[in-house]
Amino acid sequence: MKNAGGSAFGSTISVIQGEFKISNDPEVILSTVLGSCIAACLHDPVAQIGGMNHFLLPNRDGADSGDIRYGAHAMELLINGLLKQGAHRDRMQAKLFGGASMAANLRDIGRSNAAFAQEFLRRENLPIVSESVGGQMARRVRFWPTTGKAQQLLIPNNPDLQSPAISAPPRSSEPVTLF
């Protein structure tokens, strides 16, 4: 049961839109880049296993609702995958990232994504131990699934698209580490 999706020591596994990855390999780092999408990082500190998903939209009714690009399905797949590999629901902790408003003239999909993920985890009684959602900047997220450590780098967006009514996170080229 080493890692699902990677192989070598110190390997970084990209989690792209519509995917999820799970690992119990201490040498694996899961990584993604987010705009309005959400990545949920779940971790069981006792079993030392964790995973990350990356979803595009909160939900879709109808025949395509089982598509992993949608939050409900992506969250279920990640949780069930972790349980199958030895995690326990009562020990799981969550970290959320993404949900930025990437274009001022479009519907705020990022806000809908973040609200969906927060509500889903609340209903499932899975605590959110940290989060970085909203704002107007993309994020590069790295997650160490065996320790639960997460790091993000904020990527500045086009300043012409930023709305003065919403305070964006501080611009920095330094990574932010969340424990």
Catalytic residue, chosen from 37, 82, 92, 137, is: 37
Structure-token pair, residue 166:
């919403």
Active site residue 41: no
Distance CA 102, CA 105 (A): 9
Beta-strand runs (E) in 76-136: 93-98, 128-133
Which residue carries 């598509």 as its tokens?
A: 67
Amino acid at residue number 108: D
Query: Which class for 104: exposed (0-12), middle (13-18), buried (19 or more C-beta within 10 A)?
Result: middle
Distance CA 124, CA 136 (A): 28
Q: Which residues are catalytic?
A: 37
